[in-house]
Homo-oligomer: A and B are copies of this chain.
Amino acid sequence: MLTRIDHIGIACFDLDATVEFYRATYGFEVHHTEVNEEQGVREAMLRINTTDDGGASYLQLLEPVREDCAVAKWLAKNGEGVHHIAFGTPDVAADAADIGDKGVRVLYDSPRTGSMGSQITFLHPKDCHGVLTELVTSAPARPAAPPEH
């Protein structure tokens, strides 16, 4: 069951410049950065609000790190802009199976690793009225660190 807008994925040519735009224009700060080698992107997550399912909604800024990745090809065709949207769910594999049974093409046979250790898959945009749609299950919260003595 999809319980939140998890993030909006925005493709950009220059991650540092785009992060600075969002900071200077709106005051949004970087919550997390990483390189996802499998996806071929360097990314920054800007946390915008928390949600009533215990999660949060982010902007995910994406810069390709190699020319043959999906985001690089998308940028070459479309220029900068919204690349995909993502919904959060407690069980991405179950939702992907359910949605696949309805005839929507699911792009991965099993979930892969997304931002911040999440598990993700994508739905084909041609089956979703033109919207590349991601499903995300966040990584389990880490137990709090023991107090320092």
Contact = CB atoms under 8 A, between A and B. Distances in A.
Size bin of chain A's contact surface: 35 or more
The A interface is mostly helix, strand or loop, or mixed, namely mixed
A81 B125 contact: yes
Given A25-B102, A48-B87, A87-B26, A10 B57 contact: no
Interface stretch (A1-9, A30-38, A109-117, A141-149): A1-9
Given A25-B102, A25-B104, A48 B5 contact: yes
Given A2-B26, A49-B57, A51-B57, 12 more contacts: A2-B48, A3-B49, A4-B48, A4-B49, A5-B5, A5-B57, A5-B59, A10-B129, A49-B52, A51-B52, A57-B57, A80-B129
